Amino acid sequence: MVLIVGEERQEKIAPITYDLIGEGKELAEKIEEGVDCAYIGNRKNAGELLHYGLDRVFLLESDEFIEEEGASSLASLIEKIKPTIVLIGATNRGRSLAPRLAVKLETGLTADCTGLEINEKGEFLQIRPAFGGNVMATIVTKTLPKMATVRYKVMDRAHRTDEKSGSIQDVEPVPYNKKKILNLYPIEERGDITEAEIIISGGKGLGKKDGFKLIEEFANVLGGVVGASRKAVDDGWIDYSHQVGLSGRTVKPKLYIACGISGSVQHLAGMQTSEHIVAINENEAAPIFKVADVGILGDLYEIIPRLIDEVEEYRKKMGS
């Protein structure tokens, strides 16, 4: 069977969970097995997951997520139900939980997968970027269970049905008392870029930190959020939470506008599945133009203000 590990974020089901269920069901169909979910969180959310075609939801009811306790409880469950494949989200929590779990189970782990397949031999292929994103490596794990963490927004999410299926089974947590979460202080952001439908990203081509003021203005006009390339983040022009790419966030908005971003392999891997891509760049040889649906060649400091004016003028005409 395929076991996916569901996450909870601020008492809600984390979106990556739906991606894992969708991918887990595809893999399970190919190996002719079922799909279960181990969910660390509250009972109400566990019940909601039954609308997504799962056979069983194993509930590790907990008000707080502690990686060591979660790994111990999950290891105990996995040793009992013996899944063939275990999928975990490549989130901050998942990246902390998965290696602890792999050590307890004495099995292999492939991290940050962007593709999963079952070949004609029935082998589980785990595809991930390697060597800085310059090649895509295909990894075959020989140990059981076969474990992988999966990046957000690279798999098709499961669809909800009105009917419930499967059942909830309670799992007794394995106590772990070495640390306790006293409080959570969420980082205030102007929107979550992984959930945004419109992203305006700035890169090294902005030339200066103040260039993000123009990107912010553009994003405000379009009702989007601000993204950034790794070089812009590394230079301290904007916070890491805005970074798009292999070492940042994977995004899949309806509209992605890359401003002054050349389009390295690492950056493209994080945004190339966007529905519509617009590139604004002075360098006609920039790799970003190869994936862009619309390319605008020129000085972004001349182009973006004109686009802002056009959008505002259009809204005035439409009365909004």
Per-residue confidence (pLDDT) for residue 217, from 0 to 100: 96
Verify that 161 and 204 share a domain, yes or no.
no
Q: What residues make up the domain containing 268? A: 198-318
For the chain, the distance separating the N- and C-terminal CA atoms, rounded to the nearest angstrom, is 52
Verify that 158 and 234 share a domain, yes or no.
no
In a domain, 186, yes or no: no
Which is nearest to 85 in space by CA: 24, 129, 15, 166?
24
Strand 124-130 to strand 115-118: parallel, antiparallel, or no bridges (unpaired)? antiparallel
Verify that 164 and 209 share a domain, yes or no.
no
In a domain, 187, yes or no: no
Per-residue confidence (pLDDT) for residue 72, from 0 to 100: 87
Per-residue confidence (pLDDT) for residue 109, from 0 to 100: 96
In a domain, 14, yes or no: yes
Is the sign of the CA dihedral 197, 203, 207, 210 positive or negative?
Answer: positive
Task: Identify the bridge partners of residue 277 per DSSP, sorted by sequence position.
Answer: 256
Number of domains in the chain: 2
Per-residue confidence (pLDDT) for residue 318, from 0 to 100: 79
In a domain, 90, yes or no: yes
Lookup result for tokens 């974020």: 9
* pTM exceeding 0.85: no
In a domain, 193, yes or no: no
Verify that 16 and 159 share a domain, yes or no.
yes
3-state secondary structure the chain: CEEEEECEECCEECCHHHHHHHHHHHHHHHCCCCEEEEEEECHHHHHHHHHHCCCEEEEEECCCCCHHHHHHHHHHHHHHHCCCEEEEECCHHHHHHHHHHHHHHCCCEEEEECEEEECCCCCEEEEEEECCCCEEEEEECCCCCEEEEECCCCCCCCCCCCCCCCEEEECCCCCCCCCCCCCCCCCCCCCCCCCCCEEEEECHHHCCCCHHHHHHHHHHHHCCEEEECHHHHHCCCCCHHHEECCCCECCCCCEEEEECCCCCHHHHHHHCCCCEEEEEECCCCCCHHHHCCEEEECCHHHHHHHHHHHHHHHHHHHCC
Verify that 109 and 235 share a domain, yes or no.
no
Tens of pLDDT, residue by residue, the chain (320 residues): 999 999 988 889 999 999 999 999 999 999 999 999 999 889 999 999 999 999 999 998 875 556 677 788 899 999 999 999 999 999 988 999 999 999 999 999 999 999 999 999 989 999 998 876 667 899 998 899 999 999 998 899 999 999 998 999 999 877 665 566 566 666 554 567 988 999 999 999 999 999 999 999 999 999 999 999 999 999 999 999 999 998 888 899 999 999 999 999 889 988 988 999 999 999 999 999 999 999 999 999 999 999 999 999 888 887 75
Half-sphere exposure of 40 (CA within 13 A, CB side): 24
**CA distances in angstroms from 177 to 28, 60, 92, 98, listed in the order given:** 36, 16, 21, 19
Both structure tokens of 238: 């904007």
In a domain, 180, yes or no: no
Verify that 166 and 202 share a domain, yes or no.
no
CATH for 284: 3.40.50.1220
In a domain, 81, yes or no: yes
Verify that 211 and 313 share a domain, yes or no.
yes
Per-residue confidence (pLDDT) for residue 70, from 0 to 100: 79
Q: Return the amino acid letter for 120.
A: E
Verify that 256 and 309 share a domain, yes or no.
yes
Q: Answer for the pair 31, 84: CB distance below 8 angstroms, yes or no.
A: yes
Verify that 140 and 26 share a domain, yes or no.
yes
Report the distance separating Cα 65 and Cα 245, nearest Å.
27
Verify that 144 and 248 share a domain, yes or no.
no
Q: Answer for the pair 181, 258: CB distance below 8 angstroms, yes or no.
A: no
